Amino acid sequence: MELDSNTAGLVSDPPAHRLMAPGPLSRRRDGSHLHATYPGQVSDETQKAGDLLVRIGAVLFVIGAFGTLATMIPFFIGTNPLPTPAYFVSMLMGVGFALALGGLLRSALAQRRT
């Protein structure tokens, strides 16, 4: 560890599993470089077949789940039901589930071939 005069605190060495990249914000006042790290871990895995379908399906499923909750709440509190387009949003739950399932099947078939 070293003492950083800019922040008046201890600065620990960055973890080895993070990528390091010097940038304009990583310079000290005396001209020497501090190494900047990305805010999160960086994955070195490549995307496999079906990964994108699973992610899109999960997003659509969550949107549909919120749509379903929004359409059911008026029935429980005794107000007028929402208009028809709100029910179409809740149908995204099934579409998202089908897309995610298709992505999982595609991924399984790709693993089986290799």
Residue 89: its pLDDT value, please?
Answer: 94
Within the chain, how many helices (H) and strands (E) appear?
Answer: 3, 4
Location of structure tokens 């998202």: 96
d(CA 6, CA 59): 42
Residue 113: its pLDDT value, please?
Answer: 84
Residue 15: its pLDDT value, please?
Answer: 55
pLDDT tens track, the chain, 114 positions: 555 555 555 555 555 545 555 555 555 566 665 555 667 676 677 778 889 999 999 999 999 999 999 999 999 999 998 999 999 999 999 999 999 999 999 999 988 887
Residue 52: its pLDDT value, please?
Answer: 92
Residue 17: its pLDDT value, please?
Answer: 47
Q: What is the pTM of this model?
A: 0.59
- DSSP track, 46-76: PPPTTHHHHHHHHHHHHHHHHHHHHHHHHHH
